[in-house]
Structure 1
């Protein structure tokens, strides 16, 4: 049986906010993505891409942030497990970085599709 405290919604929400703040404070790439996605999200009020494409654009940006959080968790767990260099530790970190890269490519592709689609209408 797991040694886990009793579930408290607000306490767990606090843990999530604490984790978000820690990643924001310590991960430059996460701050850069927030800095990039904020104006892009605001721009959706001015472009008429349609509801479905807007939802895809919003979810793709959120997906990048989720993957970035998971990548940070992987990096921290690997760093905690061993301070020595190990090929598998490097591979785990590289796989997390690859996931972030793929998520960013998906988001950039969707934005290119939306913007170029607007020009070719």
Structure 2
């Protein structure tokens, strides 16, 4: 017998509940996630200072949120691979490496976006002139 799927507000409630459980699990079990969250009180105010438009602000903050998102997906992938079995397998190692690479690429995209916004707003010229 198939379980009855929730609909409407009840579905929204349970989806939110499970999402928050996932965020709590990432916080509790993943040091990298905690480090990235710890950076938010610094980078979010910096984004408001650096951005000169709403679009720039959205780009800067979105990159930070994407890093957290990719970290959660990577952690989920690692948990599934670890659950499957403790023995080494080339495909398991490849999956974990690719998940880590996705986080790495997102981190690189983040600093590139931040540097481009800083350059576009003339902040890099100010730094260069002071050297």
Deviation at 1:4, TM superposition (A): 5.2
Deviation at 1:36, TM superposition (A): 1.3
Gaps of 5+ in 1: none
2:118 aligned residue: 115
2:73 aligned residue: 70
1:6 aligned residue: 5
Moved beyond 3 Å, runs of 4+? none
Scaled by the length of structure 1, the TM-score of the pair is: 0.87
Q: What is the RMSD of the two structures over their aligned residues, measured on CA atoms?
A: 1.9
Deviation at 1:33, TM superposition (A): 0.9
1:20 matched to 2:19? The reply is: no
Instruction: Kindly name which structure, 1 or 2, has the bigger radius of gyration based on alpha carbons.
Output: 2
1:40 aligned residue: 43
Deviation at 1:60, TM superposition (A): 1.1
1:52 matched to 2:55? The reply is: yes
Scaled by the length of structure 2, the TM-score of the pair is: 0.81
Q: Among 80, 84, 89, which residue is 1:81 paired with? A: 84
1:99 matched to 2:98? The reply is: no
Deviation at 1:51, TM superposition (A): 1.8
Gaps of 5+ in 2: 127-131
- The structure in which a higher percent of residues are helix is 2
Deviation at 1:114, TM superposition (A): 2.3
